[in-house]
Amino acid sequence: MKTTFKHLRNLLLLLFLFNSSSAQVHLIGNNFNFPGWHKLGILTLPQGGADAEVKIIAGGGYNAIANQQGECTIHFRTSNGDSNNNGFYASGSFYNSGRTIITDVVKVVQIEQSTWAFYANIPSYIGYGSVLNLITGQGAWTTDLVREEPPANSVFLNLTEEFLVRSDSYFIGNVGIGTYTPQERLSVNGNIRAREIKVENSNWPDYVFEDAYQKKSLPELNLFIKQYKHLPGIPTALEVHKNGIEVGDMNAKLLRKIEELTLHLIEKDQNDTRQNDIIIRQQKQIDELIQTNLSISDKLTKLENRIAP
């Protein structure tokens, strides 16, 4: 990478939006070239619901091995004079958007009731030759861009990372929830709760009921299960643990097994019906034989009585 970073022309804009339009512009230089904690500056903002918005925009580079296209918005608001359980007199949140994670942690350290120092953890390189543009209103801002960790044993607030979508959105790449490295169109590291999920599948197993479909016999299934300890066509517990399952595909496989089981039950019912018919016929024959034997026995008894002296 040698001199690659020296030629990056990425633009980084930090916008503090308050209630007026006075602005300050500061050259950042190389301050954001290294991952880790960075102090952004000190904000003095009066209590009573005053707002501040910080927007960090990275992009415009031409390095093929790096991607600094993205932005982070930090929103900060003072309270009505009350503090939370930690004695902090404000609240805030932030969210990232674009193709890079500008910051994964934002920490605000309370210096006094209306004075705060802002720190951001930058996980990766986001640009060289950046510019800091501050728009201040009723508050006051002092730029202090240095690589520095938040002080220990201080009154601080870790801002909550949130995701904001203002309208219908289209995502070109993969989306991760609870993960920074999604491998699918949507990767969720956690649970999903929904009233309904619709999964499309073009390989629904109606073919099981076609005359040409060949299913395993019950003896064949018995041998397979004894040998492999799972149903044919169904992944093993180890495979599911390693790779997970595709819901649509798995539902189709389970339905195929249900349909095969249904066919086995139909065949068993047909066999049972045939066996029952045979048993009925045999029982009828037995009853007839019993009646015949009784008739013969009665005739023999009468004959013996006639012959007896």
Residue 10 pLDDT exceeds 90: no
257 compared with 143, residue with greater pLDDT: 257
Q: What is the pLDDT of residues 131-183, one digit of tens each?
A: 454 545 567 778 787 889 999 889 999 998 887 666 677 888 898 988 888 98
Report d(CA 229, CA 232) in Å as an integer.
9
C-beta separation of 51 from 19 below 8 A: yes
Tell me if residue 113 falls in helix, strand or coil: coil
Asked if residue 16 has pLDDT above 70, the reply is no
- pLDDT score at 307: 82
pLDDT for res 66: 55
- Give the burial class of 122: count Cβ atoms within 10 A of its Cβ; 0-12 exposed, 13-18 middle, 19 or more buried: buried
The sign of the dihedral angle between the CA atoms of 166, 170, 171, 177 is: positive
How confident is the model over 7-35, as a mean pLDDT?
A: 47
Q: What is the largest CA-CA distance in the chain?
A: 145
What integer pLDDT is reported at residue 30 of this predicted model? 53
How far, rounded to the nearest angstrom, does the alpha carbon of residue 309 sit from its chain's CA centroid? 103
C-alpha–C-alpha distance, residues 95 and 55, integer Å: 10
Question: What's this model's pTM, rounded to 2 decimal places?
Answer: 0.51
- 48-103 residue pLDDT tens: 888 887 777 665 555 545 555 667 788 888 888 777 877 899 999 988 877 667 78
Residue 210 has pLDDT above 90, yes or no: yes
For the chain, what is the radius of gyration of the CA atoms? 39
Q: How far apart are CA 117 and CA 43, in angstroms?
A: 6
What's the CA gap between 189 and 175, in Å, rounded? 11
Which has the closest alpha carbon to 183: 191, 173, 193, 192?
173
Distance in angstroms (rounded) separating the CA atoms of residues 76 and 194:
32
